[in-house]
Amino acid sequence: MLTRLFSEPSLIPEVQKFASWAEDCDDDDDDMSDKDEEEEKSLQDGKTEGSLSESKEDGDMMGEEEEEEEEEEEGTEELDGERPKKRGPKKRKMTKARIERSKVRRQKANARERNRMHDLNSALDNLRKVVPCYSKTQKLSKIETLRLAKNYIWALSEILRSGKRPDLVAYVQTLCKGLSQPTTNLVAGCLQLNSRNFLTEQGQESGRYHGPNSSFAMHPYPYQCPRLSGSQCQSSTMASSHALRTHGYYDSIYGNTSPDYNSSEYDAPLSPPLCINGNFSLKQDSSPDQDKNYHYSMHYSALQASRSSGHGLLFSSSGMRSGVHSENLLPYDMHVHHDRAPMYEELNAFFHN
């Protein structure tokens, strides 16, 4: 019967392996001692022999004395074919009880592994929330999240090291280093930087930036994010809309005077980087790159203005209506926002010194 099962093409590989494995010990009795469990691992090697790692066959940790007591298994001889007779450990025959125990142990290991991966994914989700362009519904891939996080840390480190206001374009370039095109567009969109121009600048190093009077926010971005379509980033224009949309959370606090954006497009505020940008904004000097840093300025000052005045209109330092997305000002939720607030204040203090 096991032979039939083993030859059944529709069977999953595990069943096939298990069938061949169990067949080898079909004639075995069930009264083996518990110490046989020690060899379950060796037997599991045996069940995958010929398919997974043949090199492992000779590497099992069975004792030499047991080797002499055990007989060579028939199945192994078949699979080994013309290979020289193995000197390595022999595989113990499986009893039904041992098979059951092994199955249970494997299931437990699988469950642990699942939980471990879930924990890992949860940590990644948390990381997504603190890197630029966080969205609940449109998640960055794992690898992009890690890359963006690395770039983000690097960018912030450079800012702290230099103690100077960063150039927006350079900042975004740093953030997007090594990122895929869709993620680059998303980050640029979230930072309200036209990715087309940003990418051009990457090549030309022109450093030119669309100033507040430009229509950067409405520029259709050239790339449609593959996995973003239908959610946050049907195009990078959508990302711009995101950046400009007043979030409901912000609305509830500061009032809503923004157009009626589709709230389903983005269901979570952006992550801190834009807030970090705001930290640079309190320096309202008239540096030559003021235009480039326009958004750094307007984000934070807009927040300050709206907080102090109580109205929901967001104005840049020049008084122009910015239309800035409140998510740029507020992290993904109140809890995190409060947790991070001291850090922002420290950064503000740093940039005021």
Binding site for DNA (CB under 7 A): 13-14, 17, 37-38, 41, 44-45, 47-48, 52-53, 56, 59, 106-114, 116-118, 121, 139, 141-144, 180, 224-227, 229-230
8 Å CB contact between 297 and 166: no
Measured on CA atoms in the order 23, 27, 33, 39, is the torsion positive or negative? negative
Smallest distance, DNA to C-beta of residue 203, A: 23
* Residue with smaller CB distance to DNA, 48 or 174: 48
321 forms beta bridges with: 315
Smallest distance, DNA to C-beta of residue 115, A: 8
* Residue with smaller CB distance to DNA, 267 or 291: 267
For the chain, report the end-to-end CA distance as a whole number of angstroms.
Answer: 81
Smallest distance, DNA to C-beta of residue 27, A: 22
Integer Cα distance of 201 and 192 in angstroms = 15
Neighbours of 100 (CB within 10 A): 11
b/e 243-273 (16+ beta carbons within 10 angstroms → b): bbbbbbbbbeebeeebeebeeebbebbbbbb
* Residue with smaller CB distance to DNA, 102 or 281: 102
For residue 127, the Cα-to-chain-centroid distance in whole angstroms is 7
* Residue with smaller CB distance to DNA, 14 or 346: 14
* Residue with smaller CB distance to DNA, 44 or 246: 44
Smallest distance, DNA to C-beta of residue 277, A: 26
Smallest distance, DNA to C-beta of residue 184, A: 12
Smallest distance, DNA to C-beta of residue 218, A: 21
How far CA 268 is from CA of 71, 124, 149, 263, in Å, comes to: 64, 16, 18, 10
- Amino acid letter, 120: L
8 Å CB contact between 281 and 297: yes
Burial of residue 284 (number of CB atoms within 10 Å: 0-12, 13-18, 19+): exposed
Smallest distance, DNA to C-beta of residue 321, A: 33
Smallest distance, DNA to C-beta of residue 59, A: 6
Integer Cα distance of 110 and 228 in angstroms = 32
